[in-house]
Amino acid sequence: MPLVGTKEMFKKAYEGQYAIGAFNVNNMEIVQGITEAAGALKSPLILQCSAGARKYAKHEYLVHLVQAALEINDIPIALHLDHGADFETCKSCIDGGFTSVMIDGSHFPFKENIELTKKVVEYAHEHGVLVEGELGQLAGIEDDVNVSAENASYTQPEEVEEFVEKTGVDSLAIAIGTSHGALKFKPEQCTRNADGVLVPPELRFDILAEIEKKIPQFPIVLHGASSVIPKYVKIINANGGNLADAVGIPEDQLRKAAKSAVCKINIDSDLRLAMTAGIREHFNAHPEHFDPRQYITDGRAYIKELVEHKIKNVLGSDGRADEIMAIIKK
């Protein structure tokens, strides 16, 4: 099975009211944990690499790790550049085998965002590659860009139609209250439920509905969509970590989003937490171990467990691999 694009995935996800998980990959064990889970559940998958991942692991390693995963698992996988900062980075991924790229011009004024995105779309489409653009700014950290909560801004529905039309993008990332990282909300932004657990403010589904009205049938992307699963945070903290007040996007809201125009849900922080939980737990139980295969195996097992949970209970993409393969083969 060769790498696939996201066009067919998004079409089916839109029709079937589910979302494709876009998981960030940085090394072999992360690729393995994610693809073993998706392979077992026959789920389509987007594996995405940030600039930081390409710097850490090198582009060639990442492409070949994903190729290896495709040889082992019979599911459609798209390889996507996450948060491409400029034309050159996107070009390098388009030329280097990726099937989809994001050009993140969200921090530029509207017109400049359009110009940059259009330039990437033209080059990408000439090479059969799909493009995700972004309007609105999420709080949190993406590589070297740190957007404070005060500077974050929701997507303005009145801009989306012009943006999509003028740029020719294939999907659009929007800001409706999610943010990057494991500490998405400050405690003072949240309320506490009866068990004392922090509950963040609801996502702006009203903005999402407005956007859907302006660009019907158009695939929407949700960044910063980790739910920061308490199980892994607890394991980390019980084994020497210190992640007080880590709080993510509640999974029922992500499930609701997946049933709407949201066709791609980005997850990175949850993977980091699962891997770290497995490794910390292992070291605490086996202080005498020093073979990386021993402790990373436990991190990889938690990644697999996490991705299975996401596919079944949040994305709803289990069992959907075949319907996508069927339209790709046509």
Which residues are annotated as catalytic? 82
**From 29-37, 48-56, 204-212, 295-303, span contacting ligand G3H (CB under 6 A):** 48-56
Backbone angles phi, psi at 304, to 5 degrees: -60, -45
The position carrying tokens 């083969």 is: 329
Q: Is 269 in the site for ligand 13P (CB under 6 A)?
A: yes
- One symbol per residue from 165 to 204: x for binding ligand 13P (CB under 6 A), - otherwise; what is it? ---------------xx-----------------------
- One symbol per residue from 18 to 57: x for binding ligand 13P (CB under 6 A), - otherwise; what is it? ------x---------------------------------
How many Å apart are CA 205 and CA 200, to the nearest integer?
A: 14
**From 11-19, 46-54, 229-237, 287-295, span contacting ligand G3H (CB under 6 A):** 46-54
Determine the longest span between alpha carbons in the chain, in angstroms. 60
Other CB atoms within 10 A of residue 286 CB: 13
- One symbol per residue from 67 to 86: x for binding ligand G3H (CB under 6 A), - otherwise; what is it? ---------------xx---
Give 110-141 as a DSSP string: HHHHHHHHHHHHHHHHHTT-EEEEEESB-BEE
Of the candidates 32, 11, 10, the residue with the CA atom closest to the CA atom of residue 21: 10
How many chain residues bind Zn ion (CB under 5 A)? 1
Binding partner of residue 117 among ligand 13P, ligand G3H, Zn ion, none, CB under 5 to 8 Å per kind? none
Binding partner of residue 161 among Zn ion, ligand G3H, ligand 13P, none, CB under 5 to 8 Å per kind? none
- One symbol per residue from 212 to 251: x for binding Zn ion (CB under 5 A), - otherwise; what is it? -----------x----------------------------
- Closer to ligand G3H by Cβ: residue 52 or 96: 52
First to last CA, the chain: 14
**From 34-42, 49-57, 104-112, 129-137, span contacting ligand G3H (CB under 6 A):** 49-57
- If you count them, how many residues does the chain have? 330
Residues 6+ positions from 165 with CB-CB distance below 8 Å: none
Structure token digits, residue 102? 């994001």
The helix, strand and coil proportions of the chain, stated in percent and rounded to the nearest 5, come to 50, 15, 35
For 235, what's the count of Cα atoms within 13 Å in the CB-facing half-sphere? 21
By CB under 6 A, name the one of 118, 180, 184, 280 that touches ligand G3H.
180
Q: Is 54 in the site for ligand G3H (CB under 6 A)?
A: no
Q: How far is the CB of 310 from Zn ion (least distance, A)?
A: 16
* SS3 state of residue 187: helix
Contact 168, 125 (CB under 8 A): yes
Of the candidates 153, 14, 133, the residue with the CA atom closest to the CA atom of residue 81: 133
- Closer to Zn ion by Cβ: residue 223 or 310: 223
Binding positions for Zn ion, rule: CB under 5 A: 223
Binding positions for ligand 13P, rule: CB under 6 A: 24, 82-83, 180-181, 223-226, 266-270
Binding positions for ligand G3H, rule: CB under 6 A: 24, 50, 52-53, 82-83, 142-143, 180, 268
